[in-house]
Amino acid sequence: MLHIIWSIVVGFVVGLIARAIVPGAQHMGFFATAILGILGSVAGGLLARLISRPKEGSTFHPAGFLMSLVGAIVLLVIWIHVR
């Protein structure tokens, strides 16, 4: 249960950072920002694990966080152009 709450919080933060980096107005609420960040974290995190695996037992992987941010930015740009 705690893992799910942590994923939502981190996803929301990643979504907020992605919205701050991408120029223009994005008309998204709390839930849309959180979903954007969570999906970006999943996509970017999977790619980061393919490139560089974290050490056994580590709780934080910098490449995973950076790729989560990149994944959220890519999804946000796609969302802006599709909408």
Residue 63 · residue 48 · CB < 8 Å: yes
Residue with tokens 């919205």, as numbered in its chain: 19
* pLDDT of res. 8: 78
Q: Which residues of the chain have pLDDT under 70?
A: 54, 59-63
- Give me the domain span that covers residue 55: 2-82
Mapping DSSP onto H, E and C, the string for 39-69 reads HHHHHHHHHHHHHCCCCCCCCCCHHHHHHHH
* pLDDT of res. 17: 92
Alpha-carbon 19 to chain mean position: 11
Q: Does the global pTM surpass 0.75?
A: yes
Q: Kindly give, in sequence order, each residue whose CB lies less than 8 Å from that of residue 53, ignoring residues fewer than 6 positions away.
A: none
Count of the separate structural domains present in the chain: 1
